[in-house]
């Protein structure tokens, strides 16, 4: 059983296409994991190599920037990756599209994301 997970929170109000969402989620996952690697290597390595299944991720939806930011107030800042789009395709430059949280221990991340629904 997995003891760690990473959560990616995606804004649904932007009307991003599936491919755009996939790219933004990938950015958030990689950058958040890299932040955790520097913040708490034990959490990172346990999530990456030791959990069963390894590298557990959950992608959740929020309905706007305000909800996205409100959720993140409960997480340590060093554990968050804020993703802003370059604005080359579907949305305006510098738009906050999603946030990656963790990987964190389940008992830390679950209270932060408990009220959100799967994307």
Ranges of each domain in the chain: 4-118
CB atoms within 10 A of CB 111: 11
Architecture of domain 4-118: 3-Layer(aba) Sandwich (3.40)
**Cβ neighbours for 27, distance < 8 A, ≥ 6 positions apart:** 81, 83, 98, 100
Q: What is the DSSP string of the chain?
A: --SEEEEEEEESTT---HHHHHHHHHHHHHHHHHHHHHH-HHHHHIIIIISSSSS-EEEEEESSHHHHHHHHTTS-GGGEEEEE---SSSS-TT-EEEEEEEEEEHHHHHHHHTT-EE-
Segment 65-84, tens digit of pLDDT: 999 999 888 888 889 999 99
Please say if the pLDDT value at position 13 is more than 80. Answer: yes
Cα–Cα distances in Å, from 114 out to 65, 69, 107? 18, 15, 11
* Predicted confidence (pLDDT) at residue 106 exceeds the cutoff of 90: yes
Task: Provide the pLDDT confidence category of residue 51 given band limits of 50, 70 and 90.
Answer: confident
């Amino acid at each position: 059983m997995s003891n760690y997970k990473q959560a990616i929170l995606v804004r649904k109000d932007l009307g991003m296409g599936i491919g755009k969402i996939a790219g933004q989620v990938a950015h958030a996952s990689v950058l958040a994991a890299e932040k955790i690697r520097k913040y708490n290597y034990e959490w990172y390595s346990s999530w990456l190599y030791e959990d069963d299944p390894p590298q557990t991720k959950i992608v959740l939806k929020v309905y706007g920037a305000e909800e996205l930011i409100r959720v993140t107030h409960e997480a340590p800042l060093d554990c968050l990756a804020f993703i802003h789009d370059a604005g080359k395709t579907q949305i305006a430059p510098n738009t906050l599209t999603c946030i990656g949280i963790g990987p964190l221990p389940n008992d830390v991340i679950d209270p932060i994301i408990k009220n959100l629904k799967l994307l």
